[in-house]
Amino acid sequence: MINAPTSPRILLLGGIGTGKSAVARLLAELGATVVDADRLGHQVLDDEGFEAVADRWPSVITSEGTVDRRALGAIVFRDRDELAALEGITHPLIAARIAKSAAEVVDRPLVVEMPLLKNLTDGAWIRVAVTAPRDVRMERLAERGMTKRDIVARMDAQPSDAEFVQAADHVIDNSGSLDDLGRQVLRLWSILVAA
For the chain, what percentages of helix, strand and coil (3-state, to nearest 5) are there? 55, 15, 35
Residue 13 forms beta bridges with which residues?
114, 129
Check residue 122 and give its pLDDT. Answer: 64
Check residue 2 and give its pLDDT. Answer: 47
Distance of CA 14 to the CA centre of its chain: 7
> Tens-digit pLDDT profile for the chain (195 aa)?
345 556 888 999 999 999 999 999 999 999 999 999 889 999 999 999 999 999 999 999 999 999 999 999 989 988 989 999 999 999 999 989 988 888 888 788 999 998 776 665 666 789 999 999 999 999 999 999 999 998 998 898 888 889 999 989 999 999 999 999 999 999 999 999 865
For 140, what's the count of Cα atoms within 13 Å in the CB-facing half-sphere?
Answer: 17
Which CATH homologous superfamily contains domain 9-192? P-loop containing nucleotide triphosphate hydrolases (3.40.50.300)
Check residue 5 and give its pLDDT. Answer: 53
| pTM for the structure as a whole | 0.83
- How far is the C-alpha of 162 from the C-alpha of 136, rounded, in Å? 16
